[in-house]
Chain A
Amino acid sequence: MSKTIITVVGKDTVGIIAKVCTYLADNSINIEDISQTIVQGFFNMMMVVDMEKCEKHFVDVADELEKLGNDIGVIIKCQKEEIFEKMHRF
């Protein structure tokens, strides 16, 4: 099963990771790797997640995470890992 990459980009504020992780836990999405950096006050996070146990459809999860991002003022993207693998790995 392919992995999914979730990215969060936006102005740094309290509780971004908590809110995203709560959503993922509520939907049985397992976080396998997480990396994060802050550049000039901008929050930039990437998670590698496994959605195998998630009962929702990928597109619905992507939509809900996008909406969650809008609520907390950041951009959340949910993408299949292959686009990054194809572009950066041969």
Chain B
Amino acid sequence: MINLREVSETNEMISKENLDVRTITLGISLLDCIDSDLEKLKKNIYNKIFDAAKDLVATGDKISRYYGIPIVNKRISVTPISLIGGSACKTEEDFASIAVTLDEVAAKVGVNFIGGYSALVAKGMTAADELLIRSIPLALSKTERIMSSVNVGSTKTGIDMDAVRLMGDVIKKTAELTRENDSIGCTKLVVLCNAPDDNPFMAGAFHGVTEGDKVINVGVSGPGVVKTALEKVKGESFEVLCETIKTTACKVTRVGQLVAMEASKRLGVPFGIVDLSLAPTPAIGDSVADILCEMGLESAGAPGTTAALAILNDQVKKGGVMAASYVGGLSGAFIPVSEDQGMIDAATRGSLTIEKLEAMTCVCSVGLDMIAIPGDTKSTTISGMIADEMAIGMINQKTTAVRIIPVAGKKPGDHANFGGLLGHAPIMEVNQYSCDDFVNRKGRIPAPIHSFKN
């Protein structure tokens, strides 16, 4: 039988170390909503999402009460809208009007974000894909809860550089259209390589076409739990360090598995995956950077940071895999700057640069995330940063992403505030040398040699 020590350990993780289930994300296929009449399409979308998700928030809250574990976010992901709106949308405004419908139904069912205002263009863009991508600035400026993602490359297909170039413009326009709120639109827009179909985390969540009609995916989190566990093994060997992370990650993930199964049962929706994640928030004690410091670094970004993060990411996966029946999504340690107080401090004091963050993305779960850069950064420079990150993902067969915010009117030394879980961040310096002639080449980067495994 469970004993007092074990009960106390679990409850201390929850009350003092910020252990929580970060998100229950309900994936919903919209393929059966497709219609060439835009108004009918929007009605179909609204009705399908409302019917599927009307009990999501109440169910999440009830599970939270039963087990005494916070479930921070209840969210929805849908089929990429470029596929759903293709036959009905003739203009950017048409696509943006679907975003407004999604925003309305998200508010109605009470979720804070809905992901899937997306296009998958790893090898090329259809007319509908391009129209949706061009509509993103308008869509994000007219909505609150929409999350948008564009997959522009993969290990199997290479990188669509026409899409990469376009995304530089789209990010700049989104920043401009939402300039009164520190270009907040860009915090809801991510460019991906090797995007997974079952990711429960925003901004990159969408319900892939490989999925069934509906699915429950869960993301767990507990940077504070890992940090507290490491405080007890200061100065110990790498073996002890790794075992401690692995054991802790296993415990954290078991809670995610429990919540996922319960949500699946109560909602009558199949369970998909648990995302084995360490997702920070701006709250004190909920930081991945603080774990790196606990491992022995003076500040995130110091030499050794990439190695420390590699250990952390790998041990989280090893611990979590045993604890969950199905694992997927992004699974690993996230390193968003504005959402992690330790990263914010490191960037502010100058120990963490964009170049070091880029190196860290080779070994973390995703990529350059929630980084505020000067508002006057050229769109070609942003495209160059995206191309670099996509290349890392393509060659290393991992998911990578770019979510950067060229904050309109701000320069290095200034500060941007996005509010809530999106956090705040110093404006970081960007390399000023040009990549215009590289980015302006047309076409795509071929798939790497190791993609030919047939």
Contacts and interface: CB of A to CB of B under 8 A. Distances in A.
A44 B68 contact: no
A85 B251 CA distance: 11
A46 B46 CA distance: 47
Contact of A46 (B4, B65, B67, B69): B4
A52 interface: no
B2 A5 contact: yes
Given A79-B67, A80-B67, A46 B257 contact: no
Contacts of B8: 7, 44, 46
Contact count band on A: 20 to 34
A5 B11 CA distance: 11
Contacts of A80: 66-67
A62 interface: yes
A20 to B, nearest CB: 15
Contacts of A45: 4
Interface string B1-38: 11110111111000000000000000000000000000
B65 A84 contact: no
B226 to A, nearest CB: 15
A7 B7 contact: yes
B258 A86 contact: yes
Contact of B4 (A37, A79, A81, A83): A37
Contacts of A81: 2
Given A7-B11, A33-B1, A77-B11, A84 B66 contact: no
A35 interface: yes
Which DSSP category, helix, strand, loop or mixed, fits chain A's interface? Answer: strand
A64 interface: no
B254 interface: yes
B258 A83 contact: yes
Contacts of B108: none
A35 B3 contact: yes
B248 to A, nearest CB: 11
B255 A87 contact: yes
A83 B10 contact: yes
A16 to B, nearest CB: 15
Interface in B53-70: 62, 65-69
Contacts of B258: 82-83, 86
Contact of B69 (A44, A59, A83): A83
Nearest to A6: B7
Nearest to A89: B2
Nearest to B61: A59
A35 B3 CA distance: 8
Given A5-B7, A44-B8, A62-B65, A86 B254 contact: yes
A45 to B, nearest CB: 8
Contacts of B2: 5, 48, 81, 84-85, 88-89
A12 to B, nearest CB: 15
Nearest to A48: B1
Contacts of B68: 77-79, 83
A87 B9 CA distance: 10
Contacts of B257: 86
Nearest to B251: A87
A87 B251 CA distance: 5
A82 B259 CA distance: 10
Given A7-B11, A82-B258, A59 B65 contact: yes
Interface in A48-75: 48, 58-59, 62
A88 B62 contact: no
Contacts of A89: 2
B416 to A, nearest CB: 38
Contacts of A78: 68
Contacts of B67: 79-80, 82-83
Contact of A79 (B9, B66, B254): B66
Nearest to B8: A44
A66 to B, nearest CB: 10
Nearest to B322: A90
B30 to A, nearest CB: 33
B24 to A, nearest CB: 15
5 contacts: A35-B4, A82-B258, A84-B6, A85-B2, A88-B2
Closest 5 CB pairs of A and B: A79-B68, A83-B67, A88-B6, A86-B258, A86-B254
Interface of A: 5, 7, 9, 33, 35-37, 44-46, 48, 58-59, 62, 77-89
Given A46-B7, A87-B10, A89-B2, 20 more contacts: A9-B11, A35-B3, A37-B4, A46-B4, A46-B8, A48-B1, A58-B65, A77-B68, A81-B2, A82-B258, A83-B69, A84-B2, A85-B2, A86-B254, A86-B257, A87-B6, A87-B251, A87-B254, A88-B6, A88-B10
